[in-house]
Amino acid sequence: MMFATTMRVGPIGFRIGSDWSAPIAGLEALYRDYQKPDDGIPHFTVRLEATRFWRRFIRPSVQIAGDHTLPEALPLPLAQAVLAAEMAMNLQMALGQRHFLLLHASSVERDGKVIILTGESGSGKSTLAALLGEAGWRLLGDEFALIEPATGLAWPFPRPISLKNDSIAVMEAQVGAERFGIRICGTPKGDIRHLIPNVTALKGMDTPAQPALILFPRFGAPRAVRDVQPSEVFIRLTQASTNYVALAEPGYTALTRLVTQTSARAIDYPDTASGLALVEQLWAELA
């Protein structure tokens, strides 16, 4: 492959190859403060390829490939190539990760304890995590929570946060321009802009912590808090995990330990300010 870059995110090293230089330049900007893979050997290889030779130049579109792929993955326009790279990295984790139980969740840490925020797209978990990350919390990640089966600890995986539509403006108001990637318009999910995690998150990339609270946020509803029973948490987390089945018994052990030892609440909130307040309140109640 003509153009390439590597980076380490938490415990995982990636290698990205591309038929075009622009996506690599975009990735190198987002990952400029990250380390390189340990040993100089990546855990996963990703490729951004032209579907046919002439597609490098004429209506260029990016086909994702790599160690782990989905055959049905559709190509993306070249303008969205950085997005394609992020999706490809997600795929490597979703399909190939066997050392950690993966939950589709954001997570933040304070005083050695972790809040895991899990829910579907649009639940607001990424925005809440991003804001908490700027308000005294350490961001562990916004896409995947990594739970180590042997210890139950949550390990950091702080990739650039994928902000969508209204969330972009919310964070632009809080954080300096140098922490953002370019704005990508016209994606299936609307506009997307990446936010580079801050120094605290990047410096803490190798420090795990103990899960203490699981939250199921729902944005845009009147303020409400509800306890969630372990069996319901269990079901919802298996649905939020891409590799629970593949992990076999260690996955079961990790998940049952997590749901029996960690409080869980469903929270509804009308706007981000009340969302943040609710999180801080529940956190204080835990202590």
Partner 1 sequence: MSERVLCAILTDPSRAAHLTTDQWTSVLTIAHAERLAGSLAHRLSGLVLPLTVQSVLDAARLNAEAGRAHALWELEMARRALAPLGCPIVVLKGSAFVAAGLAAGQGRLIGDLDILVPRSRLDDAEAALLAAGWEWAKPNAYDDMYYRRWMHELPPLIHKTRDRMIDVHHTILPLTARPRPDAEALISNAVVLEGSVSILSPADMIIHAAAHLFADGELDGGLRNLWDIDRLVREFDQGNAFWDSLNQRAALHHLNSAVDRALRLAQVLYDTPVRTRVRRKWTDALFRARLLARNGWGQNTRRPLRFAFYIRSHLLRMPPLLLIRHLWIKAFGK
Partner 2 sequence: MACVLTPLDSLTAVYHRRSGTTHLLAEPLPEILATLGAAPAAIPALAERLAMEYGLAMNAETTALLSQRLADLEAIGLVWPL
**239 exposure class (CB count in 10 Å sphere: 0-12, 13-18, 19+):** exposed
In this complex, which beta carbon is closest to partner 2, that of residue 165 or of residue 260? 260
221 lies in the site for partner 1, by CB under 8 A: no
Q: How far is the CB of 7 from partner 1 (least distance, A)?
A: 14
Q: How far is the CB of 273 from partner 1 (least distance, A)?
A: 42
In this complex, which beta carbon is closest to partner 1, that of residue 92 or of residue 127? 92
61 lies in the site for partner 1, by CB under 8 A: no
Selection from partner 1, partner 2, none that 97 binds (CB < 5 to 8 A by kind) is partner 1
Q: How far is the CB of 218 from partner 1 (least distance, A)?
A: 30
Selection from partner 1, partner 2, none that 39 binds (CB < 5 to 8 A by kind) is partner 1
**Interface with partner 1 (CB under 8 A), residue from 10, 26, 66, 204:** 66
236 lies in the site for partner 1, by CB under 8 A: no
**Interface with partner 1 (CB under 8 A), residue from 47, 138, 159, 194:** 47
Q: How far is the CB of 160 from partner 1 (least distance, A)?
A: 22
In this complex, which beta carbon is closest to partner 1, that of residue 40 or of residue 188? 40
Site size for partner 1, by CB under 8 A? 25
Q: Interface residues with partner 2 (CB under 8 A)? A: 229-231, 234-235, 238, 244-245, 248-249, 252, 256, 259-260
Selection from partner 1, partner 2, none that 40 binds (CB < 5 to 8 A by kind) is partner 1
CA nearest neighbour of 96 among 129, 35, 144, 51? 144
255 lies in the site for partner 1, by CB under 8 A: no
Exposure pattern of 159-191 as b/e (b: 16+ CB <10 Å)? bbbbbbeebbebbbeebeeebbbeebeeeeeeb
Selection from partner 1, partner 2, none that 13 binds (CB < 5 to 8 A by kind) is partner 1
Exposure pattern of 222-231 as b/e (b: 16+ CB <10 Å)? eeeeeebeee
Measure the CA–CA gap between 149 and 164, rounded to whole angstroms.
Answer: 32
In this complex, which beta carbon is closest to partner 1, that of residue 68 or of residue 257? 68
65 lies in the site for partner 1, by CB under 8 A: yes
Binding site for partner 1 (CB under 8 A): 1, 13, 15, 17, 37-43, 45, 47, 49, 65-68, 96-99, 246-248
